[in-house]
Amino acid sequence: MADCRFTPVSPALSFCRITPLRALAAALLACATLASQPVFAGKKDDTLRMAYDQAPESVDPYYNNVRIGVIIAANVWDTLLYRDPVTNEYKGQLAKSWKQVDDKTMEFELREGVKFHNGEPFDADSVVYTLNYVADPKNKAVTQQNVAWIDKVEKIDQYKVRLTTKEPFPGAKEYLSTTVAIHPAKYYQEVGPKGMNAKPVGSGPYKVTDYQPGKSITLERNTDYFKDSPKAQPKIGKVVIRFIPDRQTQMAEVISGGEDLIMSVPKDQAEQLGGMPNLQMVTGKTMRIVFMQMNIQEGTPAPQLKDERVRKAIIHAIDRESMLKNIVGDGGGLINTICTPSQAGCTQEGIETYKYDPALSKKLLAEAGFPNGFDIDIVAYRERNQTEAIINYLQAVGIRAKLNFLQYAAMRDMIRGNKASLTHQTWASNLVNDVSASTPVYFAFGNDDVTRDPQVRDLLGKGDHTIESGARNAAYKEALDIIAKKAYAVPLWTLPAYYVTTKDVNFAPYSDELVRFWDMSWK
Amino acid sequence: MLYFTIRRLGLALLVALTVSILAFLLLHLSGDPALALAGEGARQADIDMIRKTYGLDRPLAVQYADWLWHILQGDFGTSVYFKTEAGPLILSKLKTTLQLGMGALAFALLISIPLGVLAAIYKGSFIDRICLAIAVLGQALPNFFFALILIMIFSISLRVLPVSGSGTWQHFVMPAIALGYYVAPAFMRLIRAGMIEVLGADYIRTARAKGLPARKIIFKHALRNAIVPVVALAAVQLGYLLGGSVVIETIYALDGLGYLAYQSITYKDYPVMQLIVLLLSVLYVMLTLAADIANAWLDPRIRVS
């Protein structure tokens, strides 16, 4: 075959046979050799690597509305107060002590000797400047709800400030201990939110050493973190958070050791990953409640829901306990009222509950004039498997529900446009452990209220603006009681959260879904 | 020729503009932008603030006209999500996407040329069918799926390549393969068809009669002619690769234009989204134009016509 003459469509020539193969082989060889071992995460280089699917639009805590933003904020910034995630007790963080002067005024004694990451000392100016700046609507903080209740903050002396709220606002301590971060006054005045995003400076247990918008953020242990902080002293040296939008890629990263921690993993996938030798699955409770809204406003697409018996039939038709066990999973818990059980003012005591009873459900439907059931659309945006199971239960009693699965914004548009009848909803209250952050969103005549009961609205309003806790809780309880008795919504459960981490790390989940790097350590 | 080019250029701009109007309208169809921008946990106060801040309470036509007017003045707007200038933001991501696009194109050519030549030589045989199967597979496999298979092989089993990110050149290997494999079949078929045609031509028969070695005949005489249309196709495909890298960049968390496009859609970041659509359509049209010119230059017959 030395003679390598070419004949079209002929038995091959050795050379002609080899060349393309040689090229392919070269390509494959290139693929194999080009690769030096990728960097693997882990305790060897004291770097915890975490992947998250969404990038924050800004690192300045007042200019983003995403969960990872809240996580970064809690690790990089401090707040005046601190809420113990286990006991829910308030402790002083940047404030040494505090007192309620009157219904609208609080005074804070500040801690001395605390320094921001850039060396700027913390004092009353930091509190006064930060809070007055972000509370001013002109400055366009995107987390308006977190700051809109602040009227003004005044300096009394270098380590004492007075905060006035616009109305009596019992939820104040909740915000001051979770989302209202304190910035260094001088630096913030100089660079503003834009500069704070480019080079974030806080006083928290971790400082930002590198930030590439949309790509990654690197935190390093603040070795000068003040010793009296109720947050623990950070143990892990470095934390790198990368924004990886694709869930499968995130999973591949933890499997291959490229990342140490991923969160909000779907249950089945978390279980699979947890079975791997180098990984562990950690389950935790969350504050996120799951419930169904029933639109009974004028013009609702499903007027059947206006009948209380139909609404009760829907609640009786769903076997919540069985769903909790089989679909929702560990860490979830049943709820009987539309609020997170840990929230101040949220009670289930003495509230009407509805058992799983499909026979009763059918009876109620027949009484309401629907012996053969009816057709209805159910709108949902997440936890699709749960919605599908609910649909099965509803169909079993004759309610032929059809799934309309949408993006969150589109779903909320539909609800607000009075175009949704039955909605599978969830709400996490943005860390705020107070009922004012949950029930009123759906029952106080806001845009998401599809029941509009003035009595409920007034009771919730009373609760929102009463400082004395006995009277406050009583008002909320009465509102929750009416919601339950009239079956305005279907309370379902709280969602569990699934985390997957490398086995090398000590990690404890908290119900606020906040990843506390300062609380973590290597095994 | 000059008049023709200018006319084509004008038409290209018109196309880009139309695309931008479409993109502008489509983005508004998927829900209230203020709501999407505010995020899931946002309350009414947050949403109202955003609506007012970004002028989303104005009529659509006014919003579009306003945007166009600013573009014409060289003001590309500010990203509502990242709060930085949209122009520099997009330029900073362009490099990654160009690297990926070039890598994918290189990979596509690397496999399609030998396979195309091989398929032509063994036309109708088992080898031809194998080559065809490889091509069909490339186009039939959704590229996100192929991307995940690559991750499983190279990152999880062999552990030779990093799963995601864009730090080093190793990060580009799998994305370039995943993206390149999808466009390779088009090249392969073009080369195969061209080669079959050329190999039957008189001058090849002459070359063979002269006793030239097959290597010389195939690569020097046949391939050189068969590859002419590939040059034109490559330019167009590069345009596709730049725009079509959204899925691949998202899977591999490559910080490029595709990923930025994905983010801007997710977060309803209108200024960025519109600019990307505009940039890509202009780029695509320019590449098509370049391909036409290259074609005319390579093939005198086109020039004459």
Q: Which of A52, A71, A144 to mutate to test the interface with B (most CBs of B within 10 A)?
A: A144
Residue A446: its chain B contacts at CB < 8 A?
Answer: 43-44
Q: Is the pLDDT of residue A180 over 80?
A: yes
Beta pairing, strands A238-243 & A47-52:
parallel
CA distance B267 to A463: 35
What residue type is assigned to position A89 of the chain? E
For the cut 90, the answer to whether the pLDDT of residue A134 exceeds it is yes
Chain A residues 130-149 within an 8 A CB cutoff of chain B: 137, 140-145, 148
- Residue B83, pLDDT > 80, answer no
Most confident of A14-18, A395-399, B140-144, B188-192: A395-399
- Whether the per-residue pLDDT at A14 is higher than 60: the answer is no
Beta partners for A497?
A284
What are the tens digits of pLDDT across the range B226-247? 777 787 788 778 877 877 688 8
Of the given ranges (A30-34, A367-371, A426-430), which has the lowest mean pLDDT?
A30-34
For chain B, the distance separating the N- and C-terminal CA atoms, rounded to the nearest angstrom, is 11
pLDDT value, residue B298: 67
Give B75's pLDDT tier (boundaries 50, 70, 90).
Answer: confident
pLDDT at B25 over 90: no
B93: closest CA of chain A, how far (Å):
11
pLDDT mean across residues, chain A: 88
3-class secondary-structure state, position A407:
coil
**What is the arithmetic mean of pLDDT over B66-73?**
83
Chain B residue whose CA is closest to A427: B41
**Is there a contact between A249 and B122 if contact means CB atoms under 8 Å apart?**
no
Rounded to whole angstroms, the Cα distance separating A498 from A489 reads: 27
pLDDT value at residue A1? 33
B218 Cβ under 8 Å from any chain A Cβ: yes
The dihedral of CA B53, B54, B56, B62: what is its sign?
Answer: positive
Mean pLDDT within A290-309 = 95
Q: Which token pair is B220?
A: 């020097």
Produce one character per residue of A285-304: b if its CB has 16 or more CB atoms within 10 Å, e if not.
bbbbbbbbbbbbeeebebeb
Interface test with A, best of B155, B246, B270 (most A CBs within 10 A): B155
Q: Which of residues 169-208 of B touch A (CB under 8 A)?
A: 169-170, 173, 177, 199-200, 208
% of residues, chain A, pLDDT over 70: 92
Work out the percent of chain A whose per-residue pLDDT is above 90. Answer: 69
Residue of A nearest to B253 (CA): A244
List Cβ neighbours of A44 (8 Å cut-off, separation of 6 or more).
Answer: none
Give chain B's mean pLDDT: 82
Taking a C-beta distance cutoff of 8 angstroms, is the pair B166, B245 a contact?
no
Q: Which of A317-321, B50-54, B92-96, B112-116 has the lowest mean pLDDT?
A: B50-54
Q: Is A11 touching B (CB cutoff 8 A)?
A: no
> Of A32-41, B179-188, B279-288, which has the strongest mean pLDDT?
B179-188
Which residues in chain B are contacts of A193 at CB distance < 8 A? 83
Of residues A23 and A465, more confidently modeled = A465
The answer to whether the CB atoms of B36 and A441 lie below 8 A apart is no
CB A285 within 8 A of CB A326: no
Closest residue, chain A, to B53 (C-alpha): A140
Residue A304's pLDDT is what? 95
Per-residue confidence band for A34, with pLDDT thresholds at 50, 70 and 90: very low
> What's the token pair of residue A440?
């009123």
From the list A212, A243, A413, the residue facing B32 with the nearest CB is A413
CB A315 within 8 A of CB A490: yes
Tell me, yes or no, if B250 comes closer than 8 A to chain A by beta carbon.
Answer: yes
Tell me which amino acid residue A166 is: K
Mean pLDDT on A297-317: 95
In angstroms, what separates the C-alpha of B131 from chain A's closest C-alpha? 11
pLDDT value, residue A407: 74
Contact B46, A142 (CB under 8 A): yes
What's residue A72's pLDDT?
96
Q: Is B156 on the interface with A (CB under 8 A)?
A: yes
Taking the CA of residue A447 and the nearest CA in chain B, the distance in Å comes to: 7
A489-512: per-residue pLDDT in tens? 999 999 999 999 999 999 999 888
**Residue A15 — pLDDT band, cuts 50, 70, 90?**
very low
pLDDT at position B300 is 63
Is the model's pLDDT at A3 over the cut of 60?
Answer: no
**Between A5 and A125, the higher pLDDT residue:** A125
Residue A19 pLDDT > 50, yes or no?
Answer: no
The verdict on a CB contact (< 8 Å) between B217 and A6 is: yes
- B253 Cβ under 8 Å from any chain A Cβ: yes
A20, A55, A407 member nearest B30 (Cβ): A407
pLDDT at B15: 78
In whole angstroms, give the CA distance from residue A39 to residue A50.
Answer: 14
pTM above 0.80, yes or no: no
Share of chain B above pLDDT 70, in %: 92
Residue A446 near chain B (CB below 8 Å): yes
Smallest Cα distance from A497 to chain B, Å? 17
Q: Which residue has the higher pLDDT, A144 or A416?
A: A416
Q: Do B46 and A27 touch (CB under 8 A)?
A: no
| Residue B265: pLDDT band with limits 50, 70, 90 | confident
**Sequence-distant (≥ 6) Cβ neighbours of residue A69 within 8 angstroms:** A56, A57, A58, A59, A61
Sorted by sequence, the CB contacts under 8 Å of residue B181 that are 6+ apart come out as: B107, B108, B111, B138, B141, B143, B146
pLDDT(B299) > 80: no
- Whether residues B111 and A24 touch (CB distance < 8 A) is answered with yes
Place of tokens 């005024």: A105
What distance in Å separates the CA atoms of residue A66 and residue A317, rounded to the nearest whole number?
35
Across the interface, do A57 and B38 touch by the CB < 8 Å criterion?
no
pLDDT surpassing 70 at residue A31: no
Residue B55 at interface with chain A, using a CB cutoff of 8 Å: no
Note whether B156 contacts A19, CB cutoff 8 Å: no
pLDDT at A439 over 90: yes
- Is residue B175 pLDDT above 50, yes or no? yes
- The answer to whether residue A8 scores a pLDDT higher than 50 is no
- Neighbouring CB atoms inside 10 A of B296's CB total 17
| pLDDT over threshold 70, residue B141 | yes
- Which has the higher per-residue pLDDT, A471 or B135? A471
Q: What is the distance in angstroms between the Cα of B304 and the nearest Cα belonging to chain A?
A: 33
Mean pLDDT of A176-188: 94
Check if the interface score ipTM surpasses 0.85.
no
CB A364, CB A389: distance < 8 Å: no
Instruction: Pick from B27, B150, B163 the residue to mutate for testing the A interface (most A CBs within 10 Å).
Output: B163
| Average pLDDT value for residue range B71-82 | 82
Looking at residue A81, its pLDDT comes to 95
Cβ–Cβ gap B208/A12 under 8 Å: no
A194 pLDDT more than 50 = yes
pLDDT for A11 beyond 60: no
